[in-house]
Every structure is written in C-alpha cells, then in structure tokens.
Amino acid sequence: MNFFLTVLGLVMILEGMPYFAFPERIKSWLAYISTLPAGRLRLVGFAAMVAGMGLVYLGQHG
C-alpha cells in the first residue's frame, strides 16, 4: 500500500506541474483538445496507456 500511495502522489505532482507553471498555455491547450474528434483522443489515450505499461514493465524487469 505504501508503494501505491507513493506512485499516486508522484502522478499527482507530475499532473499538477503544468497547471502551476503554465496556466495560460494549459487553457489554450484544453480549448484545442475540445475541438478534436473523440476517436483521436481515444487513440492518444490508448497510446499513453501502452507507453505507461511499457515503462512499468521496464521498471520491474529491466
């Protein structure tokens, strides 16, 4: 459970950094994302999940 909480905390830190450092750019980026079709967003989300699983695998077995 300690490892899970550590990972969750690190994810929250990484997710919050752009909003803290570049709030105006995040607003314009989110406006752009809202214009993209759902299929493209799903593809990007899937690619991010596959990349994340690859990083987890490398971290555990590399």
Q: Token pair for residue 15? A: 């997710």
Q: Nearest 5°: phi and psi at 35?
A: -90, -10
Of the pLDDT bands very low, low, confident and very high (cuts 50, 70, 90), residue 62 is confident
Q: What is the pLDDT of residues 6-55, one digit of tens each?
A: 999 999 999 999 999 999 999 999 999 999 999 999 999 999 999 999 99
List alpha helices for the chain, DSSP H.
2-21, 23-33, 38-61
Q: Could you tell me the pTM of the whole model?
A: 0.74
In this prediction, residue 41 carries a pLDDT of 97
pLDDT value for 53: 96
Interatomic CA distance for residues 35 and 58, integer angstroms: 35
